[in-house]
Structure 1
Amino acid sequence: MDDLTIEVAGGIARLTLNRPEKHNALSARMISELTEAAALLGADPEVRAVMLTGAGKSFCAGADLGWMRAQIEAGPQERAAEARRIAMMLRALNEMPKPLIGMVQGNAFGGGIGMMSVCDTVVADEAALFGLTETRLGIIPATIGPYVIARMGEGFARRVFMSGNRFGAAKAVELGLISSLHSAAELEAAALAEAAPYLACAPGAVAAAKALTRRLGPVIDDATIDMSIAALIAQWESSEAAEGIAAFFERRPASWVIAP
């Protein structure tokens, strides 16, 4: 794989987003590779738990800029197809029959928050920053939305889902996005400590228990995913999306920005 690395040792797989020069932004290739990795690791009997992390200073900066540029030129059908690829990647990770532990070593924005939300537990660097920044661009956090809401709950999600504000790691804990905070030096040990108990558990029972929690929790089925994709495409078709993304690439304030 080109945009990911996978290492397996002692029953624990380490899945690393490996575009550090791009802050591990989600490219089309990375999306495909993550979907494939979820299937491979989920089916590997030697793997008892998976740690998801990023190379470099950032965990995941969200969508790749090249991908965003392509969406400007694409039509509704092409946009829907790309949105579905992201949705299916998140679904594959969410439904992977192995515990998924997020080891968030740096900042996460947009799609990076979605990646954190499909993890079963998340440990993070206490210095990291987070944000659902899509509305600043005139778009919405749609395909990641079902997983973010499932993780935070509607009430907590309303505090950060629409404002585009960045927030620190302590607030991310308060929102239920992160389980525990650690210094950079202690982070890997903390992630391994989260993974270690699964080495003593029956893997089939772990998979069944994880599937049961998903069935008992908020429903994320085909209809939910279709609805999130439709919401995203509708917003992509708006004049706000065109203006917000143009402003971003032109490094200027969007037309709706009111100076304080």
Structure 2
Amino acid sequence: MNQTDNVLFEIDTRGVATVTLNQPEIHNAFDDKLILQLTDIFTSVSSNQDIRVMVLAAAGKSFSAGADLNWMQRMATYSYEQNLADADALAKMFFILNTIDKPTIAKVQGAAFGGAVGLVACCDMAIGSKLSKFCLSEVKLGLAPATISPYVIDAIGARVAKRYFTTAEVFSARRARRLGLLSEAVVEEELDSTVENLIEHILKNSPAAIRAAKQLIFDVQNKPLSDALLATTSEKIAELRVSDEGQEGLNAFLQKRRANWIKE
């Protein structure tokens, strides 16, 4: 396990990586140092093909309260150029998390405010406690949720984003589930088991096919239906059918046996 004071990084024997925000005393608020640590970890997860799935979790009562107070105090004294560099680092972290080539699951308890909503939105799936609460609070500080906006808007839609970006209302896990920010909202006692159930499903599937399926979404989303898009999707499935894992998966199905990527 690779461990720092602020974030824990663990990979188990199944290839499940768990990244845990580990500052419960400040409700896992993040600053520029933690952003760089998370960027490094997310980059290593993306490049490590032994990792099959990543869980983003947090210690303590809260998932994350967003930006750390001391960091905000420093930002208030920064020049435009310093603020731009700071924002670029934050935007890079969100982009890397969003584009990790294997499934990512956010496990959310307690508060997820400000930039923490971006972390949740960047993950492919998010399981929240029914007691978790969310808030896009930036406008209360005279700011806007700029670097997280592409991912939050993608998760909840532009019309809903107009409301919560401008009202800074706190909304419930039930509302987050209805809006699409959470995949499921469960009682706190079922948080771990619900995440584990998703992991078990993922581990039954072809790693290469999962990577291709995630990339397919980026390639197809918001593209016009055209001959070029149809050709692209046909090429992708043809490539997968003749690939090693495609052949193994098809033969395992026809022979009624486990595929070789499924561990006993």
Question: Between the two proteins, what is the percent identity of the paired residues?
Answer: 37
CA distance in 1, matches of 2:209, 2:93: 24
- Spell out the pairing of 1:124-203 with structure 2 (5 A cutoff): 124-203=128-207
Runs of 4+ in structure 1 over 3 Å off: none
In 2, the alpha carbon distance for the partners of 1:179 and 1:47 equals 22
Q: Look up the SS of the partner of 2:213 in the other structure.
A: helix
Q: Which deviations, in whole Å up to 9, do the C-alpha atoms of 1:207-248 show, x marking residues without a partner?
A: 1211221233369xxxxxxxxxxxxxxxxxxxxxxxxxxxxx
Mapping of residues 239-258 of structure 1, within 5 Å: none
2:121 equivalent among 94, 117, 120: 117
Q: 1: CA distance between counterparts of 2:221 and 2:41?
A: 25
Would the aligned equivalents of 1:11 and 1:46 in 2 still touch at CA under 8 Å? yes
Structure 2 residue corresponding to 1:3, chosen from 3, 6, 14: 6
**Cα distance in 1 for residues equivalent to 2:192 and 2:106:** 10
Assess if the C-alpha contact under 8 Å between 1:16 and 1:52 holds in 2. Answer: yes
Question: Which of 1 and 2 has greater Rg?
Answer: 2
Shift of 1:77: 0.3
Note closer, same or farther for the CA distance 1:142–1:125 as it changes in structure 2 (3 Å cut). same
Tell me, in whole angstroms, the C-alpha distance in 2 between the residues paired with 1:217 and 1:137.
Answer: 33
- The equivalent residue for 2:40 is 36
| 1:23 Cα offset (Å) | 0.7
- RMSD of aligned C-alpha atoms? 1.3
Distance 2:222 2:41 in 1: 25
Which of 48, 58, 64 is the equivalent residue of 1:60? 64
Aligned residue type for 1:18: N
CA distance in 2, matches of 1:2, 1:38: 17
What do residues 83-118 of structure 1 show as CA deviations (whole Å, max 9, x unaligned)? 010000000100111100011022100001000000
Compare 38-47 and 52-61 and name the one that shifted more. 38-47
Amino acid at match of 1:3: N
Give the C-alpha shift of residue 46 in structure 1.
2.2
d(CA) in 2 for partners of 1:77, 1:29: 18
Alignment-derived partner of residue 71 in structure 1 = 75
Between the aligned partners of 2:55 and 2:123, the Cα distance in structure 1 is 9
2-structure distance, mates of 1:200, 1:43: 21
Cα distance in 2 for residues equivalent to 1:116 and 1:78: 27
Contact 1:150 1:218 in 2 (8 A): no
Instruction: Name the amino acid aligned to 2:6.
Output: D
Distance 1:81 1:218, change over 3 A: farther
Separation in 2, partners of 1:133, 1:119: 20
Query: How many Å apart are 1:41 and its aligned residue?
Result: 1.3
Structure 2 unaligned segments of length 5 or more: list them. Answer: 224-264
Q: Which residue of 1 aligns with 2:55?
A: 51
Tell me: higher relative CO, structure 1 or 2? Use CA pairs within 8 A at least 6 residues apart.
1
Give yes or no for contact 1:157–1:175 (8 Å, CA) kept in 2: no
SS at the partner of 2:165?
A: coil
